[in-house]
Amino acid sequence: MWKIMRSWKCGGMRWAHRQRPSHELLSQLSFDQHYKIRSNIELLIQDYASKPIAPLNYEYFLQYRPPLTKKEEYMLTIKTINLLLSLTCKRLNAIQRLPYNAVINPHIERTNSLYLKSLQTLLSIAYPYELHNPPKIQAKFTELLDDHEDAIVVLAKGLQEIQSCYPKFQISQFLNFHLKERITMKLLVTHYLSLMAQNKGDTNKRMIGILHRDLPIAQLIKHVSDYVNDICFVKFNTQRTPVLIHPPSQDITFTCIPPILEYIMTEVFKNAFEAQIALGKEHMPIEINLLKPDDDELYLRIRDHGGGITPEVEALMFNYSYSTHTQQSADSESTDLPGEQINNVSGMGFGLPMCKTYLELFGGKIDVQSLLGWGTDVYIKLKGPSKAALLSKR
C-alpha cells in the first residue's frame, strides 16, 4: 500500500514523518478510511487503464535525438511517465480480472504486488519539480527495471500452476497482451535511460536511444553463434557448430534495436544447434542467408540439418508454455531480454512465442518450414524505420 505521510510547517520549514512503517499507520485507520483509500486507488487504476495507447513504433524512438534541449528532456520525461502509468494500470486491471483461483495463486499475487509497487514508484514523482531533475527520474526508472528483473519468471510459474483449472486459450490470450505491454514498458524505460546517457556524450554516436542506425548484421550473428556454441559445449561437450553467412563478401547493416534481434537469433540458434547435436550432425554448418531489398526491410533465412520438426510439434511451437524440454536442468543456460534477466524461463516454452511478439511489435514476421528427416528453415522478416524518418530533423 501507499506510504502514508504527514507533513506540516514549523518555523517556515516543511517536515515529513517517514519513519513509521505504512502498515502501522494503516492499522490506525478506521474501516471507512481504509475503504476510501482502496476505492480511490482502484478508481485511479481504472482511469489510467482506460486510456488508449498507440502501438509503439520507430517514429516514437526517433522523435527525440541527442543532444536534447531542456524542453525536450522535460517532454520526453512527461510522455514516458504517462505511458508507463497507463501500461502499469492496464496490467493491474488485467490481473485483477482473472478468476479468483488465479488471483489467489501466490506467484500471480506476487506479480500483482510488483505492479502495485511500480505504480507507487511512478506516483511518488513530485510534480512538477522532479520532472526537471533527470538523475532523480533515472533513479526511479532504474528501480523499476530492478523490481521487474524476474517478473516473467514469477508470472510463468503462476500460470503453469493454474493450467488445469483455467482454459489454455485464455492463458495464451492473457500472456499475449501481458508480454506485449511488458515489452513496451521495458523498451520505454531503456530508451529513456539510453537517451539520457547519450545526452552526456557517453555512448556510440550511431545510437539513438536503443535504436542503432547501422547495425552490422553479420557481426551480430557471429557474436550470437559464438555465445550459443559456448552454451552447447558446456551442456553437451561437443565440437563447435560452424555458421555460414551468405553473402560472405559484405556486411549488411540495418537500423533496428540490437537486443531484440540478438534475443531472436539466440532462440533460433539454440533450437537449431541442439537439433543437430541430437542427430550427431554438429559438424554440419548452420546456413544464414541475408537479403536487404530496401532500407527498411531485412530478410533472414536460418537453415539447419537437425532432422526437422514433427507435425505435432510444429502445430504447437508458437504456443506459450509449450516446450519440447521435459525437464529443465538446474544449471540450464540463461538468456537476456532487453533490460531483463530471465534465467529460469528456458524450457518453459516462451522462446519462439516471444520472438514472434517482438517481431510483430514492429511489423516483422517469423515463419518456420520443416522437412521431417532433413531439417528446418526459419524465415525472419525485420522492419526498420524508413529512410525519410531517419533523415528527418526534429
- For 167-185, give the secondary structure using H, E and C: CHHHHHHHHHHHHHHHHHH
Residues 359 and 259 in one domain: yes
* Boundary-marking domain end, from 145, 175, 206: 206
Q: What band does 23 get if pLDDT is binned at 50, 70 and 90?
A: low
Residues 119 and 136 in one domain: yes
Q: Which amino acid, 198?
A: Q
Longest dimension (CA), the chain: 84
What pTM was estimated for this model as a whole?
Answer: 0.84
Q: What band does 128 get if pLDDT is binned at 50, 70 and 90?
A: confident
Residues 263 and 373 in one domain: yes
Task: Please indicate whether residue 252 or residue 393 has the higher confidence score (pLDDT).
Answer: 252
Residue 20 resides in a domain: no
Residue 97's CB is within 10 A of a number of other CB atoms, namely 10
DSSP 241: P
Residue 375: give its domain's CATH number: 3.30.565.10
Q: What is the mean pLDDT of residues 351-366?
A: 92
Q: What band does 343 get if pLDDT is binned at 50, 70 and 90?
A: very low
pLDDT score recorded for residue 84? 97
Angle 217-236/258-278 helices, nearest 10 degrees?
Answer: 40
Q: What band does 22 get if pLDDT is binned at 50, 70 and 90?
A: low
Residues 220 and 368 in one domain: yes
Residues 185 and 310 in one domain: no
Q: What sections of the chain are H helices per DSSP?
A: 22-27, 31-49, 58-62, 70-96, 100-103, 106-123, 134-147, 151-161, 168-199, 217-236, 258-278, 311-316, 351-361, 387-391
Residues 117 and 155 in one domain: yes
Q: Give tens-digit pLDDT for 208-250.
A: 999 999 999 999 999 999 999 999 999 999 999 999 999 886 7
Residues 192 and 249 in one domain: no
- Pick from 289, 307, 306: which is nearest to 298 by CA? 289
Total number of domains in the chain: 2
Residue 136 resides in a domain: yes
Residue 28 resides in a domain: no
Give the lowest-confidence range in 306-310, 320-324, 342-346.
342-346
Residue 213's CB is within 10 A of a number of other CB atoms, namely 16
Residue 21 resides in a domain: no
* Boundary-marking domain end, from 158, 175, 206: 206
Residues 56 and 180 in one domain: yes
**At residue 158, does pLDDT exceed 50?**
yes
5-38 core/surface letters (b: 16 or more CB in 10 A; e: else) = eeeeeeeeeeeeeeeeeeeeeeeeeeeeeeeeee
Task: Determine what percent of the chain is predicted with pLDDT higher than 70.
Answer: 85
Residue 189: give its domain's CATH number: 1.20.140.20
**At residue 145, does pLDDT exceed 60?**
yes
Residues 190 and 327 in one domain: no
Residues 199 and 220 in one domain: no
Which residues neighbour 278 within 8 Å (Cβ) at sequence distance 6 or greater?
Answer: 306, 307
Residues 240 and 178 in one domain: no
**6-20, 31-45, 84-98 — most confident range:** 84-98
The whole domain housing 355 covers 211-391
Q: What band does 323 get if pLDDT is binned at 50, 70 and 90?
A: low
Residue 22 resides in a domain: no
Residue 16 resides in a domain: no
121-143 core/surface letters (b: 16 or more CB in 10 A; e: else) = bbeebeeeebbeebeebbebbee
CA–centroid distance for 264 within its chain: 12
Residues 272 and 185 in one domain: no
* Boundary-marking domain end, from 173, 188, 206: 206
- Pick from 200, 267, 192, 199: which is nearest to 228 by CA? 267
Residue 185 resides in a domain: yes
Residue 113 resides in a domain: yes
Give the lowest-confidence range in 29-38, 47-56, 274-283, 364-373.
29-38
Phi and psi torsions of 29, nearest 5°: -80, 150
